[in-house]
Amino acid sequence: MKPELIPITDPLDFIMMPIDQNKSFQSRIGNPQFEETASNIGKKIAVFGRKYDNFISSLFSSQYRYYFDVDNEYIKQKLILLHAPIIYRGDWTLSNETQNFLKTKNLQAPDLYLPLMGLITLVLLQCLNIGINNATQQYISIYMINSFWKCLIISFIEVIFMRIMFYLFGNLKVSIIDLISISNYRYCSLTTLFIFNLMTYHIFWTVGTIYILLSQAVFVYKSSQICIEQQIQTNQECDNSLDPTLALLLSLLQITCSCLILFII
């Protein structure tokens, strides 16, 4: 008598099923609730993707690309203007001709390239100085992150104060991007101060610091007058009698925030 054969079922046997049997198998394991949930998740992902594309498009739109439209000549002349604004004999006021200039032809036009590169360079130089003093790599990483956040928070608070001052002095609605640019050119000057102190072994630290702070104050004073004049030209009801006072207060605010940054980093 032959032994009874026990049928063996291959768990992957459904792959070799005919098409109609495969469909019947999928219909047996299908779950309407699961399919509806997956469909809703897919719709949400699609909406998020569209919002992300719109955000990236607006971020890199022509409005913001303008603030990064610089060349080597502009950077060189702008750095000279930042470090020696007193000796600059050009016209700091706005006119119909200077408003139509390209950024590379108008040194007074605000940009975001130099403030961003100045901040990054300053923090990296500080980390390099810590590394030279035999600090651990973990400490350098933590210091870098903390320094970036501290500088960004101070810059954010300064821009808020600047906006409030412009509002109090005649309700002047200056662009936030312009205020960020004008106030954060300081990082280029502070980077130069840091390099100068390293080269001179901090012998002339006091003299260099005073000169850099005064240069920042003069630059902000002149640049804020450009913003004020531009707002007065667009809004004839604005009173320009307090313009020097507002520009002076903004210069003092710039010096205060720069001293705070030098203290915390």
- SS3 letters for the chain? CCCCCCCCCCCCHHHHCCHHHHHHHHHHHCCHHHHHHHHHHHHHHHHHHHHHHHHHHHHCCHHHHHHHCCCHHHHHHHHHHHHCCCCCCCCCCCCHHHHCCCHHHCCCCCCCHHHHHHHHHHHHHHHHHHHHCCCCHHHHHHHHHHHHHHHHHHHHHHHHHHHHHHHHCCCCCCCHHHHHHHHCCHHHHHHHHHHHHHHCCCCCHHHHHHHHHHHHHHHHHHHHHHHHHHHHHHCCCCCCCCHHHHHHHHHHHHHHHHHHHHHHC
pLDDT reported for residue 22: 47
pLDDT value, residue 173: 80
Position 98 scores a pLDDT of 46
Burial class of 69 by CB neighbour count within 10 A (0 to 12, 13 to 18, 19+):
middle
CA angle 262–250–148, rounded 5-degree value: 35
Give the per-residue pLDDT at 32.
63
pLDDT computed for residue 226 by the predictor: 81
Q: Quickly count: other Cβ atoms within 10 Å of residue 123's Cβ.
A: 21
Locate the domains of the chain by residue range. Answer: 13-59, 71-264
Q: Report pLDDT for 104.
A: 55
Q: Which residues contact 92 (CB under 8 A, 6 or more apart)?
A: 108, 222, 223, 225, 226
pLDDT in tens, 204-240: 999 999 999 999 999 999 888 888 777 766 665 555 5
Q: Do 122 and 187 meet the contact criterion of CB atoms below 8 Å apart?
A: yes
Question: What does the pLDDT read at residue 128?
Answer: 82
What the block records as the tokens of 167 is: 């509002």
Mean pLDDT in consecutive groups of 10 residues from the start of the chain, 265 residues = 50 48 48 65 72 62 75 90 80 52 67 93 87 66 86 94 87 85 94 92 91 94 83 64 82 95 88
Q: What pLDDT is attached to residue 64?
A: 73
At residue 259, the pLDDT reads 95
Residue 155 CA to chain centroid, in angstroms?
10
Q: For position 139, what pLDDT does the model report?
A: 67
Q: What is the CA radius of gyration of the chain?
A: 30
User: Which residue in this structure is represented by tokens 């973990």?
Assistant: 138
3-state secondary structure 161-228: HHHHHHHHCCCCCCCHHHHHHHHCCHHHHHHHHHHHHHHCCCCCHHHHHHHHHHHHHHHHHHHHHHHH
